[in-house]
Chain A
Amino acid sequence: MVMTMNDETKQAVLNFTVRLGDDAVVMGHRVAEWCRNAPFLEEDLALSNVALDFIGRARMFYGYAAELANDGRKEDDFAYMRDHREYQNLLIMELPRGDFAYTMVRQLLVDVFNLYYLEQLMKSTDEMLAAIAAKSIKETRYHLRRSQEWVLRLGLGTEESKSRAQKALDDIWGFTHELFDLDELEQQMAGAGIGVDNGSLKESWSLKVKAILLEASLTVPEDGWKVKGGREGYHTEYLGQMLNEMQCVHRANPGLEW
């Protein structure tokens, strides 16, 4: 596949792959922030392991991007040497981790999305993207099993856990619409059988998410406000701060490996 791509397609696949890497690394970093901050030891381990899966996923996407770019850049250059305007992750990934309920509600919404998204990406005509998706979906199923259980426990737990989970849901909901938007590049990739038609995933996503929320006795927010812009590089103020922390060691010591 890679050998026969023309330059224009190659560039498009490269850009598309970098976005998927951005989604994974940003989400991974947010979840990793719980390392040594989680409510108890087992949860600390679990969150760190989930974070590692996302970071590993980012490495696979960036590694493939580096291969496509073939200009000397390595996976680290994609993660550490690009500014927030160059990052094209979906906004939901970059939202600060908040409290534990916020982290778990976001995790659920993202996990369900990833489940359906990766299922489609596994069918990509690009063999490498299909292979990364096949690898990642197994991990996502595990993540979802956990985030689903936690949201149930929070929703059906105490008054406080329920109100925190509901608040998180209300605060995050407006960021979920962006998951199903396709810009020009995504349309092109979906059309070519390389990417995924996100829009077509919305129904399955809504059904599954709503069923879980119902079971957790949480109220599905109404579709009111929407925020988008991540794919164009327009981010919340939080991404810049996060990247600052994530990138500072590498930028102070360029090319450092350990």
Chain B
Amino acid sequence: MSQIPPLVAAVYSERLTRRNESVLTEIWDLLDQVKDPEIPVLSIWDLGVLTQVEMQQENLLISITPTYSGCPAMDTIRDDISSLLVEGGYQNFSIKLVLSPVWSTDLMSPEGKANLQQYGIAPPVSNASCNSDECLKISCPHCGSLNTKTLSQFGSTACKALYQCQDCNEPFDYFKNF
């Protein structure tokens, strides 16, 4: 390893700045309650799906970006945002699906990645620190061993691959670097 990987990717920092500089803090905070329906330890903020919260005239505009094109969770996420806002007393809002800039796992929050690990899912190796297959050593979320192998490039959902640890023998999901 000649380079020390950055702690967070630039795309994440930009998103974080957007949130920190926003005057709509309560909305961002409220939306932390919306979780990925498949991985309930990840909020849509952690996942990188929530990209912008802004006021356009009298209307609250929430921008979200899809993870995988065919991910069925997106429809659920949209519905969850909508019901949460209605419960919170917000009436004039719209939810916009934006494709650009394209979602990547670098948009995920460091807290989210830590939560994934604790939950038993190996978090994605950062795009910023790795550009080839060779450096993609996936660490077992159970025992921490790097002696792991791919069982299948697709796991229980599009975003995960199936791995097995060759030291503790536990199979586990790896949230793919994407």
Contact = CB atoms under 8 A, between A and B. Distances in A.
Contacts of A145: 153
12 contacts: A42-B154, A52-B72, A55-B70, A56-B66, A56-B71, A57-B70, A60-B69, A130-B100, A131-B100, A134-B102, A139-B69, A142-B176
Interface in B90-129: 99-100, 102-104
Interface in B49-81: 66, 68-72
Contacts of A57: 69-70
B149 to A, nearest CB: 13
B155 interface: yes
A49 B157 contact: yes
Contacts of B152: 42-43, 45-46
A128 interface: yes
B99 A128 contact: yes
Nearest to B72: A52
Contact of B153 (A46, A59, A138): A46
Given A135-B102, A138-B102, A56 B154 contact: no
Contacts of A46: 152-154
B99 A131 contact: yes
A51 B71 CA distance: 11
Given A51-B70, A53-B69, A131-B99, 10 more contacts: A28-B70, A43-B152, A45-B156, A49-B70, A49-B158, A128-B99, A130-B100, A135-B66, A138-B102, A142-B176
A54 B68 CA distance: 10
Contacts of B151: 42
Contacts of A42: 151-152, 154, 162
A215 interface: no
A134 B178 CA distance: 12
A145 B104 CA distance: 18
A52 B158 contact: yes
Contact of B71 (A52, A54, A132, A134): A52
A55 B69 CA distance: 8
A146 interface: yes
A71 B163 CA distance: 48
Contacts of B158: 49, 52-53
A28 B71 CA distance: 14
A59 B66 CA distance: 12
Nearest to A54: B70
A56 B102 CA distance: 15
Given A45-B154, A56-B71, A138 B162 contact: no
A59 B69 contact: yes
Contacts of A28: 70
B154 A49 contact: yes
A249 B70 CA distance: 20
Contacts of B104: 138
Interface in A187-223: none
B17 to A, nearest CB: 23
A103 B44 CA distance: 35
B70 A131 contact: no
